[in-house]
Structure 1
Amino acid sequence: MILDIPLKVSVELGRTKMLVNDLLQLGQGSVIELDKIAGEPMEILINDKLVAMGEVVVVNEKFGVRLTDVVSQFGLGDVSGAEKAS
């Protein structure tokens, strides 16, 4: 059944560009500065396609993401489980 197909879900914290020389200097304890501001919404991607924005939360001592905004045209139909009226 199509609803049983596994999808890759990822959350992007941010991006940066680095020179190879700087990359080679990284070691334990190094910090990589990203382009996002702390507290800024994170991008939620399904199979590398933006589908929502969210904020980091803690769930049972693990990281999670609370959806704050869902992109309506992500091509998967209604993923909430509710049927759309025709």
Structure 2
Amino acid sequence: MDAGSQPGFSQAVLDIQTTASVVLAQQQISLSRIVNLVPGSMLTFDAHCDEPLTLEVGGHPIALGETVKIGDKFGLRIREVIAE
């Protein structure tokens, strides 16, 4: 994607690096549970294993997708862009 295809953005802005994260599931847990985590501890989540993953940028959800295997790595196939 180049600056010409994004009206109002200069190339300098589009070149800024940011962190993208893929979120499987989230939940609120107590700090006491966190400090008691050890290797082998298990956390369970309400999310079903077939639910889409959320792509977040800067802590904001921007898309939903599914995992795909790319060689020996994993990727995210975007299925829906979240419009705000």
User: Taking structure 1 as the reference length, what is the TM-score of the superposition?
Assistant: 0.72
Q: 2:27 aligns with which of 16, 20, 25?
A: 16
Provide runs of 4+ in structure 1 moved above 4 Å. none
Deviation of residue 24 (structure 1)?
3.2
Deviation of residue 23 (structure 1)?
2.6
Paired with 1:54 and 1:46, the residues of 2 have a C-alpha distance of 14
Hey, which of these two has a bigger chunk of helix by percent? 2
Q: Does 1:43 align with 2:54?
A: yes
Q: Give yes or no for contact 1:16–1:33 (8 Å, CA) kept in 2.
A: no
Q: Give yes or no for contact 1:11–1:45 (8 Å, CA) kept in 2.
A: yes
Deviation of residue 21 (structure 1)?
3.4
Q: 1:69 aligns with which of 68, 80, 84?
A: 80
**Paired residue total:** 73
For 2:45, what is the secondary structure of its paired residue?
Answer: coil
Cα displacement string for residues 29-70 of structure 1 (whole angstroms, at most 9, x for unaligned residues):
211112311010011111111110011111111121111111
For 1:17, what is the secondary structure of its paired residue?
Answer: coil
User: Taking structure 2 as the reference length, what is the TM-score of the superposition?
Assistant: 0.73
Identity %: 29
Name stretches of at least 5 consecutive residues in structure 1 with no aligned partner: 74-86
